[in-house]
Amino acid sequence: MATEEVDPRFADLDAWSLASAMDAMWEGQLAAVAAIGHALPAITAATQAAQEALSDRGRLIYAGAGTSARVAVQDGAELTPTFAWPRERVRFIIAGGESAFTTSVEGAEDDVADAAKQVDAAELSPHDVVIAVSASGTTPFTVAALQQAGRHRAVTIGVANNPATALLTSANYPVLVETGRELIAGSTRMKAGTAQKVVLNLISTGIMLRLGRVYRGMMVNMQSTNAKLKLRAERMVARIAGCGEGEAAQALEKVDGDIKMAALVVLGYDGAEAASILASHKGNLRRVFADLAEGRGG
C-alpha cells in the first residue's frame, strides 16, 4: 500500500537541512489537499445521502482506529459548539475506546469482535450515518465496524487513502483520496491525516448546510457559551433582522440565546410564534424568509 511505502525521494529526509525538510513537508500537505479534488463527486454524493438519512432524528457516527480515529473525533466533537448538533446525535466507535484518544492501545485496531460489539451497542437504524476512516483502507477494526453498520442498514461512508481496499468496497459511499507515499513511511498523520480532516470537514459542514444550520454564511445554530460568542450572536441577529445590536441583544435575552428565534422576535413575532414558524420549516431560516416574503408565514 502506498501509504506504507518508503518514498525514495525522501529516504534521506533526516539528513536534509531543516529549511529543506520543512519545505518538503509543506509541499506534501499541499499535494494532500489537492488530491481531494478528484474525490469531490464522491464526497458530494456521500454528503447528500447522509443529509437525507439523518433528517431530524438520525445520528452521525464516526468509526476508526489510531490517527484516523483521532481525526474523526476532532471533526465530530466540533459539531455541537459550531452547529448546536445535539450531543446525543453524535457517537464514536473507536478501536481501544476513549483511552485510545491519547494513548496507543496495543492490538485494538485488529479487534474485529470489539468493532461489532460497539456497533451493536449503538443500536443503529437506517437514519444513522456511519463514517469510517482508515488511511490504509484495510484496518480490521474499522472495516468490521463499517460492515456491521451496513448489516444494521445504516448509511455507510468509507474514507480511505489507498484504492481497491476493503473499506471502500464495503461502503455504500466510498471516498478515495489517493495521497500516495508519506514523506515518513507509514506516518499517516501527515498527508493522509490532512486529507482525512479536510474530507470530514467537507462532509459534516455540507450536511449542516443542507439541514439549515447555516444561513447566509453564518452559524445560526451556534451556542453562545461565552462573551465572544454572545457578541457574535448579537451581530448575527442584527444583520439578519436589520436592527441595532442593542435590540438584537434584548431579543436574544427573551429566547435564551436562540439566534434564529431572536431574529424573528425582532421582526415582530413573540417567542411562541417564532418557535412555531421555525418548527414548521424544520429550523431552516432561508425557507422561513422565503415563505414570509410570499405571505405564507407560519
pLDDT tens track for 70-80 = 999 999 999 99
Of residues 96, 112, 110, 107, the one with CA closest to residue 146: 112
Based on the fold, state whether residues 166 and 233 are members of the same structural domain. no
Based on the fold, state whether residues 205 and 232 are members of the same structural domain. no
Say what percent of the chain tops pLDDT 70.
97
- The pLDDT, as a whole number, for residue 297 is 55
What amino acid positions are annotated as catalytic residues? 78, 109
- The pLDDT, as a whole number, for residue 225 is 85
Based on the fold, state whether residues 251 and 110 are members of the same structural domain. no
Average pLDDT (128-137) is: 97
Average pLDDT (23-41) is: 96
Q: Which of the four pLDDT bands, split at 50, 70 and 90, describes residue 199?
A: very high
The residues that bridge with 159 in the sheet, in sequence order, are: 133, 175
CB atoms within 10 A of CB 169: 12
131 pLDDT more than 70: yes
Residue 62 maps to a domain? yes
Average pLDDT (77-87) is: 94
Residue 14 maps to a domain? yes
- The pLDDT, as a whole number, for residue 187 is 80
d(C-alpha 176, C-alpha 136), whole Å: 11
d(C-alpha 185, C-alpha 2), whole Å: 9
102 pLDDT more than 90: no
**Domain edge (last residue) among 210, 237, 268:** 210
Q: Phi and psi for 64 in degrees, rounded to 5?
A: 180, 180
Judge contact between 133 and 59, C-beta under 8 A.
no
Based on the fold, state whether residues 48 and 188 are members of the same structural domain. yes
Q: How far is the CA of 75 from the CAs of 60, 155, 203, 274, in angstroms?
A: 11, 18, 10, 31
pLDDT tens track for 134-193 = 999 999 999 999 999 999 999 999 999 999 999 999 999 999 999 998 888 878 888 999
How much of the chain is helix, strand and coil, in % rounded to 5? 60, 10, 35
